Amino acid sequence: MLTSASYIHCCIKDVLSKECARDQRRGWPVLVTGHSLGGGVASVLAMMLRESGDLPPDTDVQCATIGSAAVMSKALAERSAEWCTSVILGSDPIPHLSHASLENLMTELSEASPLKQGIVSIGYFWTSVLSDLRGGGGNDLDRELTTGTNDATNDSASPAGDATPEMMYPAGNIAWLDADGNLSFEFPFAGRLLLVESMLDDHLPDRYLDALMNC
């Protein structure tokens, strides 16, 4: 998306600057918009147009997207709040999708697995039995064999700090829209993937248009 935005910027900046400088168009705002991956491209392109200095200084560049891909860090997304609005319908997964959110989802699914919970429960039971037989205590090897953990190889042994992916966000203000056309800017966007039956349908442009018509 960054590559696409850079290519479009290089192709249009000269002609757009000339058009914005025309007397009959001076002061007109420029609106950049897109859907899905195009929304991610649009938001990055708008930031490039605003910060490159290619357009006349009195040109106001704004951006509005629907179902935009998560393309910015939290700091960049907050920085773009003055000129960008990202409309998200229901449980549309694309605005939430990033390496970090997918990794978090897989972790949640793994932790919620009945098989894993059963194995951990059996492990705790077996540790308790061994502890009773030995008069209490147990040892590190017992815990490692029965629960799959080892204090010596926990967080301090794995350099997860630098390897943890950063959560990504759509640009600017998040406008949360439901199928009935109710719009809210107060919904806390955490980048979390929402697994519901309608999640893929909520990304379709027709669903967005129907909801916006009801807004």
Distance CA 207, CA 66 (A): 11
More confident residue, 130 or 64: 64
Asked whether residue 89 falls in the same domain as residue 172, the answer is: yes
pTM of the model: 0.73
pLDDT in tens, 32-48: 999 999 999 999 999 99
**pLDDT of amino acid 104:** 83
Distance CA 198, CA 200 (A): 6
Asked whether residue 124 falls in the same domain as residue 92, the answer is: no
Q: Band of the pLDDT at 18, cuts 50, 70, 90?
A: very high
pLDDT (mean) for 102-116: 76
Q: Band of the pLDDT at 196, cuts 50, 70, 90?
A: confident
* Most confident by average pLDDT, 136-145, 147-156, 188-197: 188-197
Asked whether residue 25 falls in the same domain as residue 119, the answer is: no
Asked whether residue 92 falls in the same domain as residue 179, the answer is: yes
Show the 3-state SS of 4-53: HHHHHHHHHHHHHHHHHHCHHHCCCCEEEEEECHHHHHHHHHHHHHHHCC
Which CATH number goes with the domain that contains 84? 3.40.50.1820
CB atoms under 10 Å from CB of 193, counted, come to: 17
How do beta strands 183-184 and 61-66 pair? unpaired
pLDDT in tens, 69-107: 999 999 999 999 999 999 999 999 999 998 888 888 888
Give the tokens for residue 105.
């989802």
CB atoms under 10 Å from CB of 91, counted, come to: 19
- φ/ψ (deg, to 5) at 35: -120, 140
Structural domain count of the chain: 2
